[in-house]
């Protein structure tokens, strides 16, 4: 399993257009980017690739990185930064199976699968498969499982991608607070690689209208506001799940410049062989 981090940023990315903060300037100087979230998972055995989330930066990512176009995609939730790249399927694909959860979201009255199906109804290439959480499905030679996480007000899903032949396991937290249900934690546990949402360091919680929550034993918030983990929360999730390696993703430009490029924080283009 070859995992390429195509997009490791939050919804505005780093650098953010029109922003001259120190973090965005530092990113420009270093020539690194954190574009909107997307992960490319290649199966070397079958020579197929699965795309996890369709970034609005899809075109840029596939021009920039040495990866093949995917054979299938999974959509974790319906926020712009994870879904809106699917329009790129037009003329690039004759058939792109797209997997998403089948549970009705009380917020929208539709499942993620139904929203994707409605929004991309005009694209013949997009074929949506509705999948039930905790029930593994097969695609690209992988066994893939959606697991509910906590990203209010919308439903959102983490993901487990396993190769049944090699035993390689990739876990993705999805966009989530630290309040991931126990049953989902069990499914995500013990991966070779965990990609964990950590949007900002905990010390920025004081600037969020809802502050932080899910404090650790030292009182450090592991959730920023209600929707995302802090960097400390993402690190803590990796320890709790006993991940062999944790990369922190979905990072924002609000991380102070002297912390924003720390070793544990991912940048676009990183590649891992599991
Ligand atoms: Zn900035
Ligand atoms: Zn989101
Ligand atoms: Zn997001």
* Three-class SS of the chain: CEEEEEECECCCCECCCCCCCHHHHHHHHHCCCECECEEEEEECCCCEEEEECCCCCHHHHHHHCCCCCCCEEECCCCCHHHHHHHHHHCCCCCCEEEEEECCCECCCCECHHHHHHHHCCCCCCEEEEEECCCCCEEECCEEEEEEECCECCECCEEEEEECCCCCCEEEECCCCCCCCCHHHHHHHCCCCEEEEECCECHHHHHHCCCCEEEECCCCCEEEECCCEEEHHHHHHHHHHCCCCCEEEECECCCCCCCCCCCCCECCCCCEEEC
Rounded distance from Cα 75 to ligand 2 centre (Å): 11
Q: Residue 51 — φ and ψ, nearest 5°? A: -100, 125
Q: The domain that contains 128 carries what CATH number?
A: 3.60.15.10
Spacing of C-alpha 17 from chain mean position: 21
pLDDT, residue 48, reads 98
**Ligand 3 center to 174 CA (angstroms):** 8
Domain range for 128 = 2-273
The pLDDT averaged over each successive group of 10 residues in the chain (274 residues) is: 98 98 98 98 98 98 97 98 97 97 97 98 97 98 98 98 98 98 98 98 97 97 98 98 98 98 98 98
Number of the ligand closest to the Cα of 260: 1
What is the CA(102)–ligand 2 centre distance, in A? Answer: 18
Q: From the CA of 258, how far away is ligand 1's center (Å)?
A: 13
Q: What pLDDT shows up at residue 237?
A: 98
Centroid of ligand 3 to alpha carbon of 248 (angstroms): 13
Nearest to 202 by CA among 185, 219, 217: 219
- 33 C-alpha to center of ligand 1: Å? 12
The pLDDT, as a whole number, for residue 85 is 97
**How many angstroms separate the alpha carbon of residue 46 from the centre of ligand 2?**
31
pLDDT of residue 21: 98
How far apart (Å, rounded) are the C-alpha atoms in residues 88 and 35? 16
Distance 121 CA to ligand 2 centre (A): 22
Ligand 3 centre from 26 Cα, in Å? 22
How many domains would you assign to the chain? 1
**pLDDT given for residue 175 in this prediction:** 98
Nearest ligand to residue 38 Cα: 3
Which tens digit of pLDDT belongs to each residue from 36-83?
Answer: 999 999 999 999 999 999 999 999 999 999 999 999 999 999 999 999
In whole angstroms, give the CA distance from residue 45 to residue 33: 30
- Which residues share a beta bridge with 251? 9
Question: For residue 45, how far is its CA from the centre of ligand 3 (angstroms)?
Answer: 30
Ligand 2 mean position, distance from CA 72 (Å) = 21
* Ligand lying nearest the CA atom of residue 7: 3
Q: Give me ligand 1 centre to Cα 26, in Å.
A: 9
What would the pLDDT profile of 116-128 be if each residue is shown by its tens digit? 999 999 999 999 9
Rounded CA separation 65/55 (Å): 14
The distance in angstroms from the start CA to the end CA of the chain is 5
Q: Which residues make Cβ contacts (< 8 Å) with residue 265, sequence separation at least 6?
A: 198, 231, 248, 251, 255, 259
Tell me the CA–centroid distance for residue 123 and ligand 3, in Å.
24
Give distance in angstroms: CA of 151 to centre of ligand 2. 7
Residue-level pLDDT at 81: 98
């Amino acid at each position: 399993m070859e995992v390429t981090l195509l997009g490791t940023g939050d919804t505005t990315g780093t650098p953010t257009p029109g922003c001259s903060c120190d973090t965005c300037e530092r990113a420009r100087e270093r020539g690194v980017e954190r574009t909107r979230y997307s992960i490319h998972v290649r199966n070397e055995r079958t020579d197929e690739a699965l795309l996890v989330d369709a970034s609005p930066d899809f075109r840029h990512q596939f021009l920039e990185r040495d990866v093949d176009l995917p054979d299938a995609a999974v959509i974790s939730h319906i926020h712009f930064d994870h879904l809106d790249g699917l329009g790129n399927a037009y003329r690039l694909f004759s058939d792109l199976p797209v997997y998403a959860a089948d549970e009705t979201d009380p917020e929208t009255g539709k499942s993620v699968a139904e929203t994707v199906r409605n929004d991309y109804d005009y694209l013949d290439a997009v074929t949506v498969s509705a999948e039930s959480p905790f029930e593994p499905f097969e695609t690209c030679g992988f066994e893939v499982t959606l697991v509910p996480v906590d990203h209010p007000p919308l439903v959102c899903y983490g993901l487990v991608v396993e190769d049944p032949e090699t035993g390689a396991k990739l876990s993705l937290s999805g966009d989530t607070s630290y309040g991931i249900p126990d049953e989902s934690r069990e499914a995500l546990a013990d991966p070779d690689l965990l990609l964990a949402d950590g949007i900002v360091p905990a010390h920025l919680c004081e600037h969020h209208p809802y502050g932080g929550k899910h404090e650790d034993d030292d009182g450090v918030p592991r959730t920023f506001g209600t929707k995302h983990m802090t960097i400390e929360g993402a690190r803590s999730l990796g320890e709790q799940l006993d991940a062999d390696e944790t990369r922190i993703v979905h990072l924002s430009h609000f991380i102070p410049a002297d912390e924003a490029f720390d070793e544990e924080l991912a940048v676009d283009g990183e590649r891992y062989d599991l």
